[in-house]
Structure formats: C-alpha cells, structure tokens
Amino acid sequence: MKVLGIETSCDETGIAVYDSDNGQVWQRLYSQIEKHREYGGVVPELASRDHVVKAAPMLEEIIAEIGDIGALDAIAYTRGPGLVGALMVGANLARGLAWALNKPLLGVHHMEGHLLAPMLGDETPELPFVALLVSGGHSLLVDVRRLGEYRILGETLDDAVGEAFDKTAKLLGLPYPGGPELARLADSVASSRFEFPRPMTNRPGLEFSFSGLKTAALNIVRENEPLDEGLRAEIAHAFQQAVVDTLRIKCRRALEATGYRSLVIAGGVGANRCLREELQKTVRKLDARVYFPALEYCTDNGAMIAYAGALRFLAGQQDNEIYEVLPRWSLDTLPVI
C-alpha cells in the first residue's frame, strides 16, 4: 500500500511516498534555509509562499517515479503543530489530491512523524519505549506505550534545545540555522576552559529549561570579547557539552522511571554527533538500547509523515471530513491506534 506524505509545517518542503508492503520510500526534500538566512530566522509568510512554489513540482517528480498517481492508496499531510500558513499549503494540496483522486486523507501530527521516523530504518525499536524529541520548536520526553498513546514525561519550560543551539550560534556570529554550525565548531576542539550549568539536573524531575544556557553564553561572550576562532570554539564546545550532558541525565532518569529498555531519539537535534555518542554510552550502562533515525529522517521530511499516515490508515483512521490545521496540537491528545 502506497501512502503519500506531505510535510510543510515550517521551512522544509518534504514530499514522499512510503510503501507499507516493502518499506520502500521515494522522497524529495527542499530546504528554504537560504531564503530565511538573511533574516536570521524563519519568516512565516516567506515560508508559506515558497511551499506553494515548490510542493506541486516536487509531487510531480515523485509521481513520475512511482509511475502513476492512481497507485497512491492514501494521502497524508502534516496537520500541525507548525506555522499556520505553511501548514495550510500542505493541507490544501493534500485535500485537493484526496478529493480529485477520491482517496482517504490523513492529518498527521508532526511530532508523531518525528518519533516514528526511526522505524523507517532497518533496526526498529520495540514498544514500549521512551522517546526524546529534540527539534527547533520542541523538547520533550515521551512515554510511548502503544502507537498513538503518548504520555509526556517532561517538557521544556522555555526554549527548545534546537532554539538554544540556534540562539547561541547567533551570539557566536554563526549563520542561521546555527545548530549544525555550532556543533561543527564545538567538535573542532577537544576541551574547553569554560563551564556551563546543567539546568534542572540537581533536582528530581524530567522537565527541561534551556534559556539559562543562552544567557550564560551571552555573559561568557561579553566577558571575553573580542573573540578569536579558538575562544569561539571553546564556548561552543562547553555549550554543547552542557546540553548533551543535561539530555543524557534526563534520558537516564526517564528509562529508570519507566523501566523501559529502548530509547528513541528524534527531531533535528538528533543529528548531533556528540549527543549520539553520549547516549550510546548511557544506554550501554543501563543495558538498554538507543535508536536514531537515519540522518535524512532526523530533520523535517515527508517520509515520516507518509509512514505515520500509513500506520494510522492501516488502523482504520480517515480524516476526509477534517478541514482545519492545528498550529498548536498536544501530542498526548491523539487517538490511540
């Protein structure tokens, strides 16, 4: 069964087809980063307009690859959370297609897409598992008992992890989106003379707070100006170390609290090399396992939406009567499948 997935919640246009019979994926991904870079962040109106221009031609390319638009069994799109105008572009394209082809339509939760993305790989986690979702807009730990049954164990009280990476990168003069750039700079040195706090780790609980790290970075930058390349790398290194350490501590706590043996990492920050290495060490000590999506499925993409849509369609869900997108949508309110 072939399901089309359309992702337009933020600044990536992702179009993919997932075949549930053999796991095959056809996909196109277009990043708008260049369009937003000069503004230092995503400009919602530009994002919507660019999705309009890019989505349909990308869809045509994929259809040419699979041969026949009639081969699609269902159409899935990101219904939320995200930028409202951007979401509407994908939703309307999906709705038009579903109507024209007389096919079932599925509105997928963006974060459910992220947390199921590791299942597109060869080694898939068994349920139940703990998921750490770390992206530009979200940071949460989720207890995944069954598909659709998501209990939020802890969330950020302020900035998301990716946001903290991006803001600190900006302070260091790195181009937007700074997360990967900051990581590269951090990895260029083996140690740092600086030390950042590990927020909210000295008391029990699974909540996060990352805005203090950005302030700590600002203070260090001010105290050490002018910064040369070496100093910037050391600041980046200490910042990354603090974030990774904090996430590692909370993941360990979540595994201990649930008694689960599998940890799934998803979202753009899941691409971070240092985070991957440290979590591998942590789970080894706990006799548990950690699963990461392939790098191409870590950041926003259409395949994860097609996959989540396929699972929901196979479970009998259909959203052809739903018309509104949900810019805010809590993960723990989804129907269990």
Residue 17 phi, psi (nearest 5) = -120, 130
Segment interacting with ligand KG4, rule: CB under 6 A, options 15-23, 43-51, 261-269, 314-322: 261-269
| Contact of residue 104 among ligand KG4, Zn ion, none (CB under 5-8 Å per partner type) | none
According to CB under 6 A, which one of 159, 278, 300, 319 is a site residue for ligand KG4? 300
CB closer to ligand KG4 out of 25 and 265: 265
Instruction: Tell whether residue 268 is a contact of ligand KG4 (CB under 6 A).
Output: yes
Residue 139 binds Zn ion (CB under 5 A): no
Instruction: Say if residues 29 and 14 touch (Cβ distance below 8 Å).
Output: yes
Two tokens at 254? 């979540």
| Cα 31 to Cα 50: distance, rounded to the nearest angstrom | 10
Phi, psi of 116 (to 5 degrees): -95, -10
Work out which of 179, 300, 307, 331 binds Zn ion, going by CB under 5 A.
300
Q: Which of 299, 313, 317, 334 binds ligand KG4 (CB under 6 A)?
A: 299
One of 14, 90, 118, 180 touching ligand KG4 (CB under 6 A): 180
**278 binding ligand KG4? (CB under 6 A):** no
Instruction: Residue 272: count other Cβ atoms within 10 Å of its Cβ.
Output: 27
Partner that binds at residue 113, options Zn ion, ligand KG4, none, CB closer than 5 to 8 Å by kind? none
Considering beta carbons, is residue 31 or 224 the nearer one to ligand KG4? 31
The one among 135, 240, 246, 317 contacting Zn ion by CB under 5 A = 135
First-to-final CA distance of the chain: 18
Tally Cβ neighbours within 10 Å of residue 314: 14
Q: Which of 17, 25, 183, 306 binds ligand KG4 (CB under 6 A)?
A: 183
How many residues lie near Zn ion (CB under 5 A)?
2
CB of 165 to Zn ion, least distance (A): 14
With 0-12 / 13-18 / 19 or more C-beta atoms within 10 angstroms meaning exposed / middle / buried, residue 27 is buried
Stretch that binds ligand KG4, among 133-141, 147-155, 220-228, 254-262 (CB under 6 A): 133-141
Distance CA 306, CA 269 (A): 21
Angle between helices 178-187 and 273-285 (to 10 degrees): 70
In 3D space, the residue among 93, 94, 117 whose CA is nearest the CA of residue 104 turns out to be 94
CA distance 137 to 34: 19
Which of these segments, 72-80, 119-127, 151-159, 160-168, binds ligand KG4 (CB under 6 A)? 160-168
